[in-house]
Structure 1
Amino acid sequence: MQPPQIQASQALLETRAWVDRAVIGLNLCPFAKAVQVKGQVRYVVSEASDAKTLLSELVAEMQRLVAAPAAEVDTTLLIHPWVLQDFHDYNDFLDIADGALEELGLDGVLQVASFHPDYQFEGTDVGDVTNATNQSPYPTLHLLREDSVDRAVDAFAEPEAIFEANMRTLEDLGEEGWAALRAQCRKDAGLP
């Protein structure tokens, strides 16, 4: 299922707005602001319309990230608006993504984090607002350097408290607040 008439440039702008307003603005990831401010986040919009093509692009992005100095590119967001729209298919693809890391010998070097418009944590209801902590505008695979994650976690007094704080943040924001934030991200991207 393809989003109606979305252009790659709009998907990029809306995702950047989501990172700024939700991920950083709500402090869902206390480590995101530094790499965003330094311009170390690589945003890539995939034109893939099938999982095989997406996997090929994902592998290329894994290799590109590992080859780049961390000071230039610390993390990559691979946005794929036209493939894996179904959350269950997307979730199944994560095993394939992890398998690609292993095949490339990058397990322990990189990790793949997951974001999807219909993200749902196990044990939650579909409409549970706490799922929004991982609900991006479009399906997105986030490549992270393990070394960077380890440094960030070591610098944070209680990294396990992040998840709980995020749940409280979204509960306080509520469904209406989350809907307003998403609408603002669309507006920032020039979308209706």
Structure 2
Amino acid sequence: MTNPSSTMDNAIVAKQVNQWLDDVVIGLNLCPFAAKPQRNNQIDIFVSQAETEDKLLEDIFNQLLRLDDTPVKELETTLVAVPNMLGDFWDYNMFIDWVEALIKQQNWQGIYQVATFHPDYCFADSQPDDADNLTNRAPFPIFHLIREESMEKVLKHYPNPEAIPDTNIARVQALTAEEKQALFPYLFG
């Protein structure tokens, strides 16, 4: 039986992640490939209620299996939101190694990859308050499970994909304080 408060929490978390996806990722065009699958309802937001690393790894594994078993026309990609753990960015960063090891162990290299987002995301060459970190900041720790074949297809038709990170950094650096507060209320609210 499902705990009603847990279900509500899942709905609230999923709504906040979806809002971030619409307003930040798609709204700022940080990922020029996200709008179409979002419009076609091919992005799943899975809220993991895990409170241990083992359980979270199991949830991520099950979401990768689901991607493996579901046609791309029905499910393009999955965002695994983690509201109950990995709030510390360095713990989150260490856990990424487990996810990548899982992908390697299951021989999914070249099939799936993971992109990472966190409320305190900080690039290695940045200071925590640098605006460029906003490109990977999200309301919760998130593991974005990506089909590599789909990514390769869209990159073939996108001019100058290697410029995307620099374009994104310039875009978030140009935001006013009011825009940052509106787009990232969990950071500036």
TM-score (norm 2): 0.92
Contact 1:109 1:146 in 2 (8 A): yes
Aligned residue for 2:47? 45
**C-alpha RMSD of matched pairs (Å):** 1.8
Aligned residue in 1 for 2:151: 149
Provide the rounded CA distance (Å) in 1 between the counterparts of 2:149 and 2:87: 31
Per mean C-alpha deviation after superposition, the further-off stretch among 5-14 and 105-114 is: 5-14
CA distance in 2, matches of 1:182, 1:126: 15
Q: Does 1:99 align with 2:119?
A: no
Query: Residue in 1 aligned with 2:121?
Result: 119
Moved over 6 A (4+): none
User: How far apart, CA to CA, are the structure 2 residues paired with 1:175 and 1:53?
Assistant: 38
Give the residue type in structure 1 aligned to 2:78.
T
Distance verdict in 2 for CA 1:52–1:175, change over 3 Å: farther
Instruction: Specify the alignment match of 2:137 in structure 1.
Output: 135
**Matched residues, number:** 182
Name the SS of the counterpart of 1:59 in structure 2: helix
Secondary structure of 1:78's aligned partner: strand
Q: Could you tell me which residue of structure 1 aligns to residue 3 of structure 2?
A: none
Mapped partners of 1:27, 1:110: distance in 2: 23
- C-alpha distance after superposition, 1:18-50 (max 9, x if no partner): 000000000000000011001100111011011
Tell me what 1:161 maps to.
163
- Shift in Å at residue 103 of structure 1? 1.0
Structure 1: 5+ residue stretches without partners: 187-191
Residue of structure 1 equivalent to 2:37: 35
Whether the 8 Å contact between 1:44 and 1:77 is mirrored in structure 2 is yes
Contact 1:129–1:175 (Cα < 8 Å) also in 2: no
Answering whether residue 87 of structure 2 is matched by residue 90 of structure 1, we say no
**Residue identity matched to 1:34:** K
SS in 2 for 1:98: helix
One-letter amino acid matched to 2:76: D
For 1:11 and 1:147, how far apart are their aligned partners in 2? 29
Deviation readout 1:86-145 (Å, 9 max, x if unpaired): 100101111110000011111110001100000001110100111010001000000000
**In structure 1, how many angstroms separate the alpha carbons of the residues matched to 2:169 and 2:69?**
35
- Distance in 2 separating the partners of 1:73 and 1:171: 33
Which structure ranks higher in relative contact order (CA pairs < 8 Å, sequence separation ≥ 6)? 1
Provide TM-score, normalisation by structure 1. 0.90
